[in-house]
């Protein structure tokens, strides 16, 4: 009988399985209430006294071997299930990567760039941390000029001459300093102004400004350029120019496009007039040309500027400018279908 127990011990040591059912069947066979061990323990009283010690040691060894084998196989199976639970079935094909979406600001900026590139405008960029000369003085805004109050500025405290640019006109100054006419460029980028944040305004936003410098450039050239833009951008060619004031252009104008009054939204957007202001523009002031090393007697030009955020609000009928910078995935996913 002891020899039979030793065979069972060897059988238990050699048992292998990756199946829960097989492991459970093994446990019941050896350790269950009606298992082999219970049978051998019941037989213990019938064993001769001189064999009881060896018989008892053999039974205990069988019990320990069977229990250790069950524990080891269960632990191995649990580890495998944990890996599968964490990583999934590693034999399956990988999950497809979700297609991202361009930000609505980027979509509108790229559309504006594309429109002006068709008529010969290139793209120029410059630093967002700017000096006083490029942001103000060169643009006909000398120190203590009252028009500086039109733009609440973020100054760098360690140096009052350094600031966060309030417009991308500073890029145009740098471009004129380093390039000779004819010049035809647009300057998109982020700008900063110390303003209260609300549904209609923010302390940072995005602009694109255009500049055209050449011989015999007239206000009529400016109007035709803007009319082309509004037709391509909005599908609307009816515009009007209202007299306005900007320190770096003379004469200056605000540009309105006739949006129409076809829907209730049109009435709200245009306050019942049908007209919507979209940008400012004007002929470049001769002082600005001279400040940038361009002969104002030989050359003239026009400039215009618009808020990309404002155009995006119009294009996508968005009511709150703060949504552009809150990174709400639910909002951004709406633009997945846009190129």
Domain endpoint, select from 33, 54, 87: 87
Domain count, the chain: 2
98 domain-assigned: no
93 domain-assigned: no
User: In this structure, are 228 and 317 located in the same domain?
Assistant: yes
User: In this structure, are 203 and 83 located in the same domain?
Assistant: no
pLDDT per residue as tens, the chain (339 positions): 677 777 777 777 777 777 878 888 878 877 777 777 777 677 767 777 777 777 677 777 878 887 887 788 888 877 776 655 555 666 767 677 777 778 899 999 999 999 999 999 999 999 999 999 999 999 988 777 776 776 688 888 777 789 899 999 999 999 999 999 999 999 999 999 888 888 888 889 999 999 999 999 999 999 999 999 999 999 888 999 999 999 899 999 999 999 888 888 788 888 889 898 999 999 999 999 999 999 999 999 999 999 999 899 888 888 888 888 888 888 888 876 555
User: In this structure, are 205 and 278 located in the same domain?
Assistant: yes
- Is beta strand 129-131 parallel, antiparallel or unpaired with respect to 300-307? unpaired
User: In this structure, are 118 and 167 located in the same domain?
Assistant: yes
How far is 173 from 179, CA to CA, in rounded Å? Answer: 10
92 domain-assigned: no
315 domain-assigned: yes
How far is 267 from 69, CA to CA, in rounded Å? Answer: 80
User: In this structure, are 192 and 59 located in the same domain?
Assistant: no
- CA-wise closest residue to 324 among 203, 229, 235: 203
96 domain-assigned: no
List beta partners, residue 208: 188, 306
Contact 303, 281 (CB under 8 A): yes
CA 170 to chain centre: 26
Determine the pLDDT at residue 147: 65
B/e letters for 264-291, b = 16+ CB within 10 Å, e = fewer, are eeeeebbeeebbbebbbbbbbbbbbbeb
314 domain-assigned: yes
Contact 313, 321 (CB under 8 A): yes
Determine the pLDDT at residue 26: 79
Q: Give the list of residues 6+ apart from residue 228 with CB closer than 8 angstroms, or none.
A: 115, 119
User: In this structure, are 108 and 22 located in the same domain?
Assistant: no
List pLDDT tens digits, range 11-20.
777 777 778 7
User: In this structure, are 19 and 127 located in the same domain?
Assistant: no
- Give the start-end residues of each E strand in the chain: 122-123, 129-131, 155-156, 159-164, 183-192, 204-214, 239-246, 249-258, 275-284, 300-307
Domain endpoint, select from 35, 53, 87: 87
User: In this structure, are 287 and 230 located in the same domain?
Assistant: yes
CA angle, residues 268, 273, 275, in degrees to nearest 5: 95
* Residue range(s) defining the domain that contains residue 165: 104-335
249 domain-assigned: yes
Determine the pLDDT at residue 336: 67
Determine the pLDDT at residue 288: 95
User: In this structure, are 150 and 261 located in the same domain?
Assistant: yes
User: In this structure, are 209 and 293 located in the same domain?
Assistant: yes
User: In this structure, are 323 and 254 located in the same domain?
Assistant: yes
202 domain-assigned: yes
- Dihedral angle of Cα 143, 144, 149, 151, to the nearest 10 degrees: 0
User: In this structure, are 68 and 204 located in the same domain?
Assistant: no
Contact 299, 318 (CB under 8 A): no
Contact 104, 336 (CB under 8 A): no
Backbone angles phi, psi at 211, to 5 degrees: -145, 130
Q: Residue 137: which CATH number?
A: 3.30.930.10
Determine the pLDDT at residue 259: 87
């Amino acid at each position: 009988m002891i020899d039979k127990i030793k065979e069972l011990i060897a059988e238990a040591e050699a048992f292998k399985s990756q199946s829960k059912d097989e492991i459970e069947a093994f446990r019941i066979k050896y350790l269950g209430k009606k298992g082999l061990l219970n049978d051998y323990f019941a037989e213990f009283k019938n064993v001769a006294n001189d064999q009881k010690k060896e018989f008892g040691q053999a039974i205990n060894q069988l019990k320990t071997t069977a229990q250790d084998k069950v524990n080891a196989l269960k632990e191995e199976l649990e580890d495998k299930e944990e890996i599968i639970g964490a990583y999934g079935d590693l034999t399956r094909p990988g999950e497809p990567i979700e297609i991202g979406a361009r930000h609505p600001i980027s979509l509108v900026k790229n559309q504006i760039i594309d429109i002006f590139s068709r008529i010969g405008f290139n793209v120029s960029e410059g630093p967002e941390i700017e000096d006083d000369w490029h942001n103000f003085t060169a643009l006909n805004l000398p120190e203590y000029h009252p028009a500086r109050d039109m733009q609440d500025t973020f100054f760098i405290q360690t140096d009052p001459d350094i600031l966060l640019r309030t417009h991308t006109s500073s890029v145009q100054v740098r471009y004129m300093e380093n390039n000779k006419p004819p010049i035809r460029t647009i300057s998109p980028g982020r700008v900063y102004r110390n303003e209260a944040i609300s549904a209609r305004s923010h302390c940072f936003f995005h602009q694109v400004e255009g500049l055209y410098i050449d011989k015999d450039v007239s206000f009529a050239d400016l109007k035709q350029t803007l009319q082309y833009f509004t037709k391509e951008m909005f599908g609307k060619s009816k515009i009007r120019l209202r007299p306005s004031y900007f320190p770096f252009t003379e004469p200056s104008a605000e540009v309105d496009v006739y949006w129409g009054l076809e829907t209730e939204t049109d009435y709200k957007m245009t306050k019942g007039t049908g007209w919507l202001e979209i940008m400012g523009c004007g002929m470049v002031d001769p002082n600005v040309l001279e400040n940038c090393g361009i002969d104002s007697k030989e050359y003239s030009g026009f400039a215009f500027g618009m808020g990309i955020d404002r155009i995006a609000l119009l294009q996508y009928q968005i009511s709150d400018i703060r949504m552009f910078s809150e990174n709400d995935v639910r909002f951004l996913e709406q633009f997945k279908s846009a190129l």
